[in-house]
Structure 1
Amino acid sequence: MFVHNIDEEVSLKLVERSDAERIFELTDRSRSGLREWLPWLDFTITIDDTKNFIAHALGDFALGKSLNCAIVYKGKLVGIAGFNEINQAKKTAYIGYWLDENYQGKGIMTRVAAALTDYALTEQGLNKVEIRAAIGNEKSRAIPKRLGYIEEGTIRQGEWLYDHLVDSVVYGMLQSEWASSDRK
């Protein structure tokens, strides 16, 4: 199983079927806040939906297409982060993340995104990592900015959120930029 220790407080582990109850609990508890920016909340209404997500994530991981991890903070699962997609042909990975509202503001997600970036660009030999966030999602957009990602542009009406389209800002980090950065 994939486990990546980030520091003494935070680690990532591949999602497992046994995580379904906790992931669903976090999703349900943070539903209103997450729903503002993530398009899948209305499709995650039972624990079986979470179990299906985990099964799909594990299948894609086995094929090398993605890596969805549980964020573990001080021994407790507190969110999800990973590569929504890994495109080996383009040598690019796309980071996605969400964190239970009770654990926001502790620097957890910045540490997680840095570790994922480093893993992709140094250990996996990819050339680029992208993070995309809705233009109004300032908390999510702050993470790639803190890590020195370059704002590459805006995808107009790039994502459907329940009843409206939102613009998405694309941030990118190249392997050569990460290697020379002091943010690792």
Structure 2
Amino acid sequence: MFMYPVDEEINLRLVTERDAEEIFQMIDASRAHLRRWLGWLDHSMKVEDTKTNIKNNLLLFLTNEGLDTAIVYKGKIVGKIGFNKINKANQTAYVGYMLDEAYQGKGIMTRAAKAIVKIAFEEYELNKVEIHVAAENDKSRTIPKRLGFKEEGTIRSAEWLYDHYVDHVVYGMLRDEWN
């Protein structure tokens, strides 16, 4: 199983079906907060939906097309981070993340994001990592900025969120820019 120690408080580990209940409960507890930024929440209304998503992500992992990890903070799953997609031809990973609202402000996501970028460049030997963030999601936009990503542009009306479109700001980092 994939397990990556970030520091003394945080580990990243591959999400498996046995995590479905805990992940669903984490999502459900932060549903109102996460709904502002994640368009799939209405398709995850029960544990079985979470299990289906986990199975799909495990298939992506097995074919080296994705990586879905739980952020385990002091033994508890508090979020997820990973490669939503790996473009093998261009050697690019597209990172996505979410964090339980109750655990924001502790530096957890910045540390987890730094680790996932390191995994992309050192373990997967990819050339580029991209993070796409809703333009108005200021908290999420601070993550790539803290890590030294370059703002590459804005995709207008990039995503439909329930009743409106949101723009995405694209951040990128190349392997030779990573320290």
TM-score, normalising length: structure 1:
0.96
**Corresponding residue SS for 2:61:** helix
**In 2, Cα distance between the equivalents of 1:90 and 1:162?**
31
Instruction: Show the counterpart of 2:60.
Output: 60
**What percent of counterpart residues are identical?**
59
Runs of 4+ with >4 A deviation: none
What per-residue deviation string (whole Å, max 9, x for no partner) do you get for residues 98-141 of structure 1? Answer: 00011111000000110011111122110000001000000000
Instruction: Show the counterpart of 2:49.
Output: 49
Instruction: Show the counterpart of 2:8.
Output: 8
**In 2, Cα distance between the equivalents of 1:62 and 1:168?**
29
**In 1, Cα distance between the equivalents of 2:134 and 2:101?**
18
Q: How does 1:97-136 map to 2 (within 5 A)?
A: 97-136=97-136
Corresponding pairs, count:
179
Task: State the shift of 1:163 in Å.
Answer: 1.0
**In 1, Cα distance between the equivalents of 2:105 and 2:21?**
24
**In 2, Cα distance between the equivalents of 1:22 and 1:152?**
35
**In 2, Cα distance between the equivalents of 1:123 and 1:62?**
15
Q: How does 1:7-86 map to 2 (within 5 A)?
A: 7-86=7-86
Task: State the shift of 1:4 in Å.
Answer: 0.3
**In 1, Cα distance between the equivalents of 2:20 and 2:119?**
25
Instruction: Show the counterpart of 1:182.
Output: none
Structure 1 residue runs of 5 or longer lacking an equivalent are 180-184
**In 2, Cα distance between the equivalents of 1:29 and 1:80?**
14
TM-score, normalising length: structure 2:
0.99
Instruction: Show the counterpart of 2:175.
Output: 175
Instruction: Show the counterpart of 2:159.
Output: 159
Of residues 23-32 and 117-126 in structure 1, the stretch that sits farther from structure 2 once superposed is 117-126
**In 1, Cα distance between the equivalents of 2:154 and 2:101?**
27
**In 2, Cα distance between the equivalents of 1:176 and 1:157?**
31
**Corresponding residue SS for 1:33:** helix
**Corresponding residue SS for 1:81:** strand
**In 2, Cα distance between the equivalents of 1:178 and 1:140?**
20
